Amino acid sequence: MRGPHNILRLIRTLATLERTGAIGAVLEAMEAPPRIRLAARVLGWPFKWLGEAGDPALPPATRALTALGPAYIKLGQTLSTRPDIVGEEMALQLQYLQDKLPPFPTGTAKRVIEAELGLPVDTLFSDFSEPVAAASIAQVHRARLLDTGEDVAVKVLRPDIERAFRRDIDAFYLAAWVIEALAPSARRLRPKDVIAHFEGVVAGELDLRLESAAAAEFAANTEKDEGFVVPRPYWYLSGRQVMTLGWAEGSALSDNAAIDAAGHDRRALAARVLQLFLKHALRDGYFHADMHQGNLKVTPAGDIIAYDFGIMGRLDEYTRRVYAEILMGFIRRDYRRVAEVHFEAGYVPADRDIDEFARALRVVGEPIFGMDASRISMARLLHYLFEVTERFGMQTRTELILLQRTMVVVEGVARSLDPHINIWQVARPVVEGYIKDNLGPRAMGRDLMRTLRVLSRFGPRLPALVEAQLIRQSAPPPPPPRRRRGHPALWMLAGAGLTAVAVWAAEML
């Protein structure tokens, strides 16, 4: 499916952005240079007639992304958490994409449930509401169990959503190929690998059985986290296209007015969101990787509720330790140590100058400390980081893409609650606690015991393995293979002739 026909899809993408007026609105919000704005308009204008019109009642950017499809909607959801990049007004417009998209009919949802679970909806639920939230991949209904009377949330996939995502991902692969062909300097970012990673994430999100498993694991990991709630799945009411979770009432984390009216401390909520994410990533190596405001609520008691477990991130223990050391180095402003960790982990080629890299990291980190977060231009900071990575030949690490993306989203959520939050000050106690527990003498003892346990499993096999190795070493070397004279083709013809004679002789007998 990744053929030239996707060129038309990419042209229509640019044409839709131009037709809806989104190109100008987005570039203006991001304060793009005039030459970039001019180039975008010149490239988009000739194909304007090919673009999708979208819903004229929506703002330009939201209108374009909803018309383009679910993969583009996912991009808009991420940008909605970054007012420092796209501006306050644009971020508010894009929040529409989180859970306010047009729903599909309730009758269609019921038919999907009946086909998936094999029973009529009326025999499972005493009450089944109209959609209470609709996002890019699925929509949610509130229902009441017929047998227990419990309130639950029933998530149902959109019809034909897999085909729609496949169309977008195929176009993304073509775009990655074009980028690598036309901009060789971008190959170090491995755009094809990035799209492949995104494709894997989406495949998991389109199977609600996997999301049910993720919800169950995440709930087990976080059941002792104070101020955090994860609804548990009902397995007998879940399948590939349907997932049923316990219902938890709360205010949307994007509704600051409702949060203030309920008497919650938004500064405390902002710090808790960031610290919970770091705790899950470092402590458990398993974190919610789609923590935008549409997937978070606040209960009347002040607890944070997490929903939508279609995208989860996992980190091995070594990567977690590297990540923690890098964060701790920035927090302590020890840029030399941050540079050393990058080299030790192989993130930067060994032939680069470590002192020069540490100096470049200092320029990135120093503006953050002692400064109000609202005065930091994240767009400018990210632009400088890109220059640094390009200069030092750092390769995009696909296993960290989800972590980096989620960190951006979580910081945006926290900043929407508390515009003056300083992520480094808030992160410090979590990272220091992890460092203390996992990089000290106790951690070395645990690593040694784990190594001994692994070796002990091979204990019964060690004598046989040693004996086999000794036999191989003491055995005489095999004689060299005999070389046949003549051309290999002649030997093949001779063999074929002998086979034919044998067959003829057998038939004659």
Report the C-alpha gap between 344 and 313 in whole angstroms.
23
Residues 6+ apart with CB under 8 A from 23: 17, 37, 40, 41, 44
Residue 458: how many other CB atoms lie within 10 Å = 9
Cα-Cα-Cα-Cα dihedral sign, residues 70, 244, 280, 397 = negative
3-state SS track over 88-122: HHHHHHHCHHHHECCCCCHHHHHHHHHHHHCCCHH
Q: What is the DSSP letter of 476?
A: P
Report the C-alpha gap between 498 and 358 in whole angstroms.
74
Q: Residue length, the chain?
A: 509
User: Quick one: which of 371, 365, 377 has its CA closest to 332?
Assistant: 365
Q: Alpha-carbon dihedral of residues 88, 94, 98, 104, nearest 10 degrees?
A: 150
Report the C-alpha gap between 384 and 184 in whole angstroms.
20
Report the C-alpha gap between 501 and 232 in whole angstroms.
74
Answer for the pair 152, 143: CB distance below 8 angstroms, yes or no.
yes
Rg (CA), the chain: 29
- Strands 228-229, 304-306: pairing kind: parallel
Question: Strand pairing partners for 312?
Answer: 288
Answer for the pair 239, 116: CB distance below 8 angstroms, yes or no.
yes
Answer for the pair 101, 112: CB distance below 8 angstroms, yes or no.
no
Residue 377: how many other CB atoms lie within 10 Å = 13
User: Quick one: which of 334, 297, 298 has its CA closest to 431?
Assistant: 334
Report the C-alpha gap between 82 and 72 in whole angstroms.
16
Q: Which residue among 99, 290, 308, 418 is the active-site one? A: 290
Residues 6+ apart with CB under 8 A from 435: 324, 325, 328
Question: Strand pairing partners for 252?
Answer: 297
Instruction: Give the H or E element holding residue 471.
Output: helix 462-474
Cα-Cα-Cα-Cα dihedral sign, residues 104, 311, 405, 165 = negative
Residues 6+ apart with CB under 8 A from 39: none
Q: What is the largest CA-CA distance in the chain?
A: 102
290 a catalytic residue: yes
| Residues identified as active-site | 290
